Structure 1
Amino acid sequence: MTTQQLIEQIHHKKSFLCIGLDVDLSKIPSHLLEKEDSIFEFNKAIIDATHHLCVSYKPNTAFYEACGIQGWQSLKKTIDYLNENYPEIFTIADAKRGDIGNTSTMYAKAFLEDLNFDSVTVAPYMGKDSVEPFLEFKYKHTIMLALTSNEGAFDFQTKIIEGKELYKTVIETSKTWKNSENLMYVVGATKAQYFAEIRQLIPDSFLLVPGIGAQGGNLQEVCKFGMNSNIGLLINSSRGIIYASNGLDFAEKANIEALKIQQEMEAILVSKFSF
């Protein structure tokens, strides 16, 4: 998927919502546990109930890997279902991979070729040769951790090194890498005060923003400082939507919670743009 196609979908749906498919078997409705593939059945119901309200889905691969080979099969069935039935949706493999040379190439092939996600998240700690293999894929995107929403982000990311916060150095350096136009960046919603400075460094890039809702991030604040002329934001919500209910009405309740966010997003877009 091209960036322009993603922007067009945002305009069409009046939404820049990304829904995280972080499936925890201890939290899904008990009646689904009787199914042959309870993870996929849960995802399918959530997707069918919310696809018109969001522009992206983001399965966190750890929740699937923890279930062994069956979990990986559920992940493949989920991405295949999305690609076959809702090809306009921007898909993110939240894998946070990062290793050198051939290993990164294999990770990239696994997620961008075999599973056919539109994008994958990566950790840049090992430098350009751990990220550039992901950037080689045409019409695919690499979403690099820049400034995350967790408390531990302050351990390294905001440390001053030679007069500059480390996360700024990481962002600036990444712009020099081959095919850097395929980069997007993760910036946590709980770090809203940093968005203005980040936009000075990467004014045109898309930002994947976790931390809205359960983690305490504020949508209005993020949009105030992080939105650009192409919107440039994918706001992720996971638990607040997919676990809105653990009963038979779980998909219906997910729809209601996603609609609330979409309507708030639409109001922001109408106020800022001629939507």
Structure 2
Amino acid sequence: MTTQQLTDQIRKKKSFLCIGLDVDLDKIPKHLLNEEDPIFAFNKAIIDATHHLCVAYKPNLAFYEAYGLKGWKALEKTIMYLNVKYPEIFTIADAKRGDIGNSSTMYAKAFFEDLDFDSVTVAPYMGKDSVEPFLAFKNKHTILLTLTSNAGAFDFQTKTVDGRPVYEQVLETSKTWENSSRLMYVVGATKAEYFTDIRKIVPKAFLLVPGVGAQGGNLQAVCKYGMNENVGLLINSSRAIIYASDTAYFDEAAAQKAENLQLEMAKILAS
């Protein structure tokens, strides 16, 4: 998927919502545990109820790898279902990979060729030869961890080196890598005060923004400082939407939570 196609979907749906599919079998409605594949059954119901309200879905791979082979099969079924039934949806493999050379190439093949995700999250710590293998795939996107929403982000990401914070140096350096136009960046909603400086460095790039909802990030603040002329934001919400209810009507509750965010986004876009 191209960024223009993603932007077109945002305009059409009046939404820049990304829904995180972080499936914990201890939290899903108990009746689903009787299904042959509870993880996929949960995902399918959430997707069918919310696809018209969002432009992206983001499975966090930890929640699938934790269940071994059955978790990986559920992930395969989920991405296949999205690609066949809702091909207009942008898909993100939240894998946070980071290795070098052939290892990165193989990770990229796994997510871009085998599973056919549109994008994957990647850690920048090992530099360009850990990221450029992902960037080699046309019409696929690499989402670089830049300034994350967790408290530990202050351990390294905001530290000043040679007069500039590390996260700013990550942004600047990444622009020199081959096919850097295929880069997107993770910037946490809980760090809204940093968006102005980030936009000075990457004014046109899409930013994947976790932390709205359960983590307390402020949507209005993120949009005020982070939105560009093409919107340029994917606001992720996971637990606040998918675990809105543990009853038989969990999908309807999820849709209501998603619609609340979508309506707020529509107002922002209109203004």
TM-score scaled to structure 2, two decimals?
1.00
Counterpart AA for 2:169? T
2:24 is aligned to: 24
1:9 is aligned to: 9
1:247 is aligned to: 247
Counterpart AA for 1:66? A
Return the alpha-carbon distance in structure 2 between the equivalents of residues 219 and 181 of structure 1: 26
1:152 is aligned to: 152
1:79-98 → structure 2 map (5 Å cutoff)? 79-98=79-98
1:264 is aligned to: 264
1:195 is aligned to: 195
2:106 is aligned to: 106
Q: CA deviation at 1:184?
A: 0.1
Return the alpha-carbon distance in structure 2 between the equivalents of residues 170 and 259 of structure 1: 35
Return the alpha-carbon distance in structure 1 between the equivalents of residues 257 and 124 of structure 2: 33
Deviations 1:109-141, CA, capped at 9 Å, x for gaps = 000110000000000000000000000000000
Deviations 1:57-81, CA, capped at 9 Å, x for gaps = 0000000000001100000000000
1:57-136 → structure 2 map (5 Å cutoff)? 57-136=57-136
Return the alpha-carbon distance in structure 2 between the equivalents of residues 94 and 160 of structure 1: 28
1:234 is aligned to: 234
Q: CA deviation at 1:213?
A: 0.9
Return the alpha-carbon distance in structure 1 between the equivalents of residues 129 and 192 of structure 2: 30
Return the alpha-carbon distance in structure 1 between the equivalents of residues 208 and 160 of structure 2: 24
Cα RMSD, aligned residues only: 0.3
Return the alpha-carbon distance in structure 1 between the equivalents of residues 222 and 200 of structure 2: 15
Counterpart AA for 2:87? P
Return the alpha-carbon distance in structure 2 between the equivalents of residues 209 and 157 of structure 1: 16
2:165 is aligned to: 165
Return the alpha-carbon distance in structure 1 between the equivalents of residues 38 and 158 of structure 2: 41
What SS class does the counterpart of residue 215 from structure 1 fall into?
A: coil
TM-score scaled to structure 1, two decimals?
0.98
Return the alpha-carbon distance in structure 2 between the equivalents of residues 254 and 205 of structure 1: 29
- Following superposition, which runs of at least 4 residues in structure 1 exceed 6 angstroms of deviation? none
Q: CA deviation at 1:185?
A: 0.1
Q: CA deviation at 1:3?
A: 0.4
Structure 2: gaps (5+ residues): none
Counterpart AA for 2:85? N
Return the alpha-carbon distance in structure 1 between the equivalents of residues 169 and 254 of structure 2: 39
Q: CA deviation at 1:227?
A: 0.1
Q: CA deviation at 1:218?
A: 0.2
Return the alpha-carbon distance in structure 1 between the equivalents of residues 254 and 71 of structure 2: 22
Q: CA deviation at 1:202?
A: 0.1
Counterpart AA for 2:77? K
Deviations 1:195-226, CA, capped at 9 Å, x for gaps = 00000000000000000011010000000000
1:184 is aligned to: 184
Structure 1: gaps (5+ residues): none
Counterpart AA for 1:96? K
